[in-house]
Amino acid sequence: MENFPAIPVALFARVSTNRQDAQRQIDDLQAYADRQGYRVVATELEAISGATKTTKRPHLQALLAAGAAGTIQKVLVTEISRLGRNTLEVLQVLERFTEVGVSVYVANYNLETLTAGRSPAAKKKNPMAQLMFTMLAEFARLERETLVERTISGMQAAKRKGKHIGRPRGSTKTKDQLLKEYPGVVRDLREGLSLRKIAKIREVSVDTVQKVKKLLAV
């Protein structure tokens, strides 16, 4: 019986801030890799928002480069939201890995994007996984939008009660400081997106988007 070398894989974990601990993600993925007899050749940890563009996520880019170079054949993640929060971004990431023959395994659903195969040419898209990932990514996006809407609603309710929301009074930023702090909002405004949509995408209040819009008009 022919013996194949252990499949080289990478572990990928993401948290939104440096204050969060991703060790459990790493431990769970390492345990799975050990059970499968995989050879872990890379571990990438991102402390960044999943809403960040793929091109601005160096750890994810490193895995894509490793896949293109043939260094890894699989990427293991605990859940699909680790890849991103935006539906389109998640699907683009999955497609990028598929293009270089790297299968993405999502632990909590026990699904892979590609069917079994020892080489990129021998692998094919897993239709069931593709359908499931599309649905899950959309659900994750809707949940995130709901959270943003609840946050905005809570802030508006607090304002109606006379509570001060935001920075302490007297700490107003200059025009340049504010525009530099919200470059994504600036880009979205210039692309013609609505104020409410921008607020949802960038996780800021509509008032903040309105303030940036006014500054751009000056």
> Which tens digits make up the pLDDT trace of 127-182?
887 787 777 777 767 767 777 777 777 777 777 777 655 555 544 566 677 778 88
Structure tokens at 178: 């504010």
For the segment 119-139, what is each residue's pLDDT rounded down to a tens digit?
555 577 888 877 877 777 777
DSSP reduced 3-state for 179:
helix
Would you tell me how many other CB atoms lie within 10 Å of the CB of residue 188?
20
Residue 43 phi/psi, 5-degree rounding, is: -130, 120
Q: Radius of gyration (Cα) for the chain, nearest Å?
A: 21
What are the Cα distances from residue 100, in Å, to 15, 75, 134, 163, 166? 25, 12, 20, 53, 45
DSSP reduced 3-state for 50:
coil
Cα distance between the two ends of the chain:
74
Percentage of residues of the chain with pLDDT beyond 90: 24
**44 pairs with which residues across the strands?**
12
16: part of which helix (H) or strand (E)? none
DSSP reduced 3-state for 154:
helix
Mean pLDDT of the chain: 80
pTM flag (> 0.75)? no
- Least confident piece of the model among 19-33, 56-70, 137-151: 137-151
**130 pairs with which residues across the strands?**
none
Span 42-69, average pLDDT: 84
